[in-house]
């Protein structure tokens, strides 16, 4: 029986348009044996919508998204609108509004891809950054006093709740247990400087770790973690971090495995009450937007994570294998991977490999 999946497509801004169009094509080309049928709703929310309506998305946006099985998003960000307006108008309210608390960002060194670090064999770097996605440093708690005056004061407060910290750490351990990896969980904080939120995190990490005696653990300060992502990237398996630290470290894990153009992400509601959101780690890349130069593979791999989450695991594997084959062959690669192919050439190459 053919299973119908209803997907909200939210390409957003810049190269988001190009990479989501590519992922859509690839999903539609999945072989019939997977017995999946997609119904897409194309949503034109984003910066152009903002220029027309004065808001990034309609007021009832979350109600409209709620009806879908999942959301595939491109990127948000426009050079003519301050980033805090675009991001707080679209992506961040969806992550929080749907309680998509687990942001899962795998980084894998594929065969055929060159890491800027020398000496790493394909598959030897294989980690997942699990990023807390609903609170922490991204909590919209703060304000200005004497705004724009010489005596101006700005306050932005990081919010960590035991509930929020515990569930993301537990999620990381469960993921490490399921993965075919090193069964190792690294926790990243900065408790030497931030003695409240980050020490709460450390205490919860130690407590939850007790329940997983089969897992190796390490606790690193974020500055040392940044160094070790470069010095010994092959030692990491699952890395769990706060919202901001996870954001920063996942650009680093992306580049040590070749390119941000390859890095996918899942914003999950593990309770499955709400549609989860899948998106590349990268942004709208205004420097290359509209030129057909964007690497679509991060978004295609995000679509594979989406299929995995929707319990279409074989289709997800087909997609990932097709990407793997394109990379290994090395004929259709975008500039970020040292090639000179266009977005649509890479997309066609993936579709060809789907067979």
DSSP character string of 218-231: EEEEHHHHHHHHHH
Nearest distance from residue 89's CB to ligand NAD, in Å? 12
Pick one of ligand IPM, Mn ion, ligand NAD, none as the site partner of residue 295 (Cβ within 5 to 8 A by kind): ligand NAD
- Backbone region of residue 132 per phi and psi (left: phi > 0; alpha: psi in -120 to 50; beta: other values): beta
- Pick between residue 220 and residue 281 the one whose CB is nearest to ligand IPM: 281
Please choose, out of 52-60, 239-247, 304-312, 334-342, the segment that lies near Mn ion by the rule CB under 5 A.
239-247
Annotated catalytic residue within 49, 101, 126, 190: 190
Annotated catalytic residue within 42, 44, 223, 287: 223
Tell me, yes or no, if 353 is annotated catalytic. no
Tell me, yes or no, if 146 is annotated catalytic. yes
Q: Which helix (H) or strand (E) holds 73?
A: strand 70-75
Nearest distance from residue 34's CB to ligand IPM, in Å? 29
Alpha helix stretches (DSSP H) within 243-335: 243-256, 297-309, 313-329
Encoded tokens for 81: 């609108």
Q: How far is CA 91 from CA 45, 167, 232, in A?
A: 11, 21, 32
Determine if 139 is a binding residue for ligand IPM (CB under 6 A).
no
Tell me, yes or no, if 251 is annotated catalytic. yes
Annotated catalytic residue within 247, 269, 336, 353: 247
Tell me, yes or no, if 234 is annotated catalytic. no
Q: How far is CA 325 from CA 261, 305, 314, 336, in A?
A: 16, 17, 16, 18
Q: State the residues that interact with ligand NAD by CB under 6 A.
A: 15, 19, 75-77, 83, 91, 260-261, 279, 282-288, 294-295, 298, 334, 336
Encoded tokens for 53: 């309506």
Residue 32 sits at the vertex; the CA angle it makes with 28 and 9, to the nearest 5 degrees, is 25
Q: Which helix (H) or strand (E) holds 164?
A: helix 162-178
Tell me, yes or no, if 42 is annotated catalytic. no
Kind of pairing between the strands at 36-42 and 3-12: parallel
Determine if 132 is a binding residue for Mn ion (CB under 5 A).
no
Q: Which of 281, 312, 337, 351 binds ligand IPM (CB under 6 A)?
A: 281
Determine if 247 is a binding residue for Mn ion (CB under 5 A).
yes
Please choose, out of 156-164, 241-249, 259-267, 347-355, the segment that lies near Mn ion by the rule CB under 5 A.
241-249
Residue at token pair 């961040």: 92
Q: Which of 13, 69, 135, 247 binds ligand IPM (CB under 6 A)?
A: 247
Nearest distance from residue 267's CB to ligand IPM, in Å? 8
Task: Tell me how far the alpha carbon of residue 186 is from its chain's centroid.
Answer: 18
- Pick between residue 175 and residue 262 the one whose CB is nearest to ligand NAD: 262
Kind of pairing between the strands at 102-108 and 126-132: antiparallel
Write out the catalytic residue numbers: 146, 190, 223, 247, 251
The footprint of ligand IPM (CB under 6 A) covers 87, 247, 281, 283
The footprint of Mn ion (CB under 5 A) covers 247
């Amino acid at each position: 029986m053919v299973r119908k999946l209803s997907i909200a497509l939210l390409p957003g801004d810049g190269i988001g348009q190009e990479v989501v169009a590519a992922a859509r094509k690839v999903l539609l080309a999945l072989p019939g044996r997977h017995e999946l049928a997609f119904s897409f709703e194309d949503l034109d929310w984003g910066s152009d919508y903002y220029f027309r309506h004065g808001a990034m998305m309609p007021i009832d946006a979350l109600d409209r998204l709620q009806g879908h099985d999942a959301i595939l998003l491109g990127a948000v960000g426009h050079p003519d609108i301050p980033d805090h307006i675009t991001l707080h108008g679209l992506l961040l309210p969806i992550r929080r509004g749907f309680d998509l608390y687990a942001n899962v960002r795998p980084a894998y060194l594929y065969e055929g891809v060159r890491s800027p670090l020398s000496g790493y064999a394909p598959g030897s770097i294989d980690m997942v950054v699990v990023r807390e996605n609903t609170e922490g440093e991204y909590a919209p708690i703060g304000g200005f006093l004497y705004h724009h005056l010489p005596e101006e004061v700005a306050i932005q407060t990081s919010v960590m709740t035991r509930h929020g910290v515990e569930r993301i750490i537990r999620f990381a351990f469960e993921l490490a247990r399921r993965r075919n990896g090193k069964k190792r969980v690294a926790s990243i904080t900065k408790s030497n400087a931030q003695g409240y939120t980050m020490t709460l995190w450390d205490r919860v990490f130690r407590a939850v770790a007790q329940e997983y005696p089969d897992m190796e653990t390490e606790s690193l300060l974020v500055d040392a973690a940044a160094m070790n992502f470069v010095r010994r990237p092959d030692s990491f398996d699952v890395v769990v971090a706060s919202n901001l630290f996870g954001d920063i470290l996942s650009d680093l894990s992306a580049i040590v495995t070749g390119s941000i153009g390859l890095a996918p992400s899942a914003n999950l509601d593990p309770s499955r009450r709400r549609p989860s959101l899948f998106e590349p780690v990268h942004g709208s890349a205004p420097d290359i937007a509209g030129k057909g130069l964007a690497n679509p593979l991060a978004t295609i791999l995000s679509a594979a994570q989406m299929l995995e989450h929707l319990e279409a695991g074989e289709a997800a594997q087909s997609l990932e294998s097709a990407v793997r084959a394109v990379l290994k062959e090395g004929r259709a690669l975008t500039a970020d991977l040292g090639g000179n192919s266009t977005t649509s050439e890479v997309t066609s190459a993936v579709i060809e490999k789907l067979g």
